[in-house]
Chain A
Amino acid sequence: MPDLGKYADTVLSAYGVSIALLLVLVWLSLRASRKAKEALAKVDRKNG
Chain B
Amino acid sequence: MASIWEYANPLKFMRLTDRVLPWVSVLAAASLVIGLIWGFFFTPDDYRQGSTVKIIYLHVPSALMAINAWFMMLVASLIWLIRRHHVSALAAKAAAPVGVVMTVIALLTGAIWGQPMWGTWWAWDPRLTSFLILFLFYLGYIALWEAIEDADTAADLTAVLCLVGSVFAVLSRYAVNFWNQGLHQGASLSLDKEENVADVFYLPLLVCIAGFVLLFLSLVLLRTRTEIRLRRTKALIAREGMADA
Q: Which residues of A contact B (CB under 8 A)?
A: 2-8, 10-11, 13-15, 17-18, 21-22, 24-26, 28-30, 32-33, 36-37, 39-40, 43-44, 46-47
Number of B interface residues at 8 Å Cβ cutoff, please give it: 37
- B12 interface residue per 8 A CB criterion: no
- B108 interface residue per 8 A CB criterion: yes
The docked-state distance in angstroms from the alpha carbon of A2 to that of B227 is 43
A10 and B115 within 8 A (CB): yes
B105 and A22 within 8 A (CB): yes
User: In the complex, which residues of chain B have a beta carbon less than 8 angstroms from the beta carbon of A43?
Assistant: 233, 236-237, 240
Closest to B44 in A: A2
A18 and B237 within 8 A (CB): no
Stretch touching chain A among B49-57, B78-86, B183-191 = B49-57
A25 and B225 within 8 A (CB): no
The B88-115 residues at the A interface (CB cut-off 8 A) are 97-98, 101, 104-105, 108-109, 112-113, 115
Closest to B42 in A: A2
- SS of A interface (majority): helix
- B223 interface residue per 8 A CB criterion: yes
The B214-236 residues at the A interface (CB cut-off 8 A) are 215, 219, 222-223, 225-227, 229-230, 232-233, 236
Contacts A2-B41, A21-B101, A36-B230; is A14 near B58 (CB within 8 Å)? yes
A14 and B109 within 8 A (CB): yes
- B13 interface residue per 8 A CB criterion: no
Contacts A2-B40, A17-B109, A43-B233; is A11 near B219 (CB within 8 Å)? no
**Interchain residue pairs A-B with the least CB separation, the first 7:** A36-B229, A4-B51, A14-B112, A36-B226, A43-B236, A18-B58, A33-B226
